């Protein structure tokens, strides 16, 4: 297992639509393990493969808190098949939009159909934090970010902030390589 670098805003790869997984082999198992280790190290509660620059429809998650035993979950080719009418507001953050948090309103409960590590079809109904995590990560698979759920003004501010930070960092990287 290895910790992989997480790409951050404004990296355009975050806006790619991820491709379905068709082959369940050792390479996929290694990717799943790397994603989980990367998520725990970050630390985060969810990670989509595109966040480590792999445009595949894969999500790992663990919505446990504090001293609760870890509960790693793997979702391959996940799709939301049902959402509740009831809404829930959670202060979201994202490993690809570091140190920025904002309230986001989403359905309180969801049902997700997915393939597990072996390729078997599964379904899960989730509420609370896990429902939020699944919706957040599945957005990534479609090229979406949680900031897309904010007002245009807030979204533009955060994008501008990260673009400026990337521009400031770029000249330093050029000097180091020279």
Q: Indicate if 125 belongs to the active site.
A: no
pLDDT of residue 169: 86
Q: Is the peptide bond before 10 cis (omega within 30 degrees of 0)?
A: yes
Which of 137, 142, 156, 177 is labelled catalytic?
Answer: 137
Count of structural domains, the chain = 1
> By residue range, what is the domain housing residue 169?
12-177
Per-residue pLDDT at 177: 53
143 found inside a domain? yes
Parallel/antiparallel/unpaired status of strands 73-83 and 87-94: unpaired
Q: Are residues 145 and 14 in contact, defined by beta-carbon separation less than 8 angstroms? A: yes
Q: 3 in a domain, yes or no?
A: no
Q: What pLDDT is attached to residue 172?
A: 54
Across the 178 residues of the chain, what is the mean pLDDT of every consecutive 10-residue run?
95 98 97 98 97 98 92 98 97 97 98 98 97 98 98 96 91 53
> pTM of the entire structure?
0.93
Check which CATH number belongs to the domain holding 144 and give it: 3.90.45.10
Q: Does residue 63 form part of some domain?
A: yes
């Amino acid at each position: 297992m290895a910790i992989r670098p997480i790409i951050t805003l404004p990296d355009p790869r975050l806006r790619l639509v991820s491709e379905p997984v068709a082959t369940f082999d050792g390479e996929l198992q290694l990717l799943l393990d790397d994603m989980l280790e990367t998520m725990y190290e970050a630390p985060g509660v969810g990670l989509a493969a595109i966040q480590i620059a792999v445009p595949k429809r894969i999500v790992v998650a663990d919505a446990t808190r504090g001293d609760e035993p870890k509960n790693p979950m793997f979702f391959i080719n996940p799709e939301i098949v049902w959402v509740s009418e009831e809404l829930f507001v959670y202060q979201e953050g994202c490993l690809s939009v570091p140190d920025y948090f904002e309230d986001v309103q989403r359905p309180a409960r969801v049902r997700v159909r997915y393939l597990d590590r072996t390729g078997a079809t599964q379904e899960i109904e989730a509420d609370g934090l896990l429902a939020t995590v699944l919706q957040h990560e599945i957005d990534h698979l479609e090229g979406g970010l949680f900031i897309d759920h904010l007002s245009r003004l807030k979204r533009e501010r955060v994008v501008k902030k990260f673009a400026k930070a990337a521009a400031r960092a770029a000249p330093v990287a050029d000097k180091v390589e020279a």
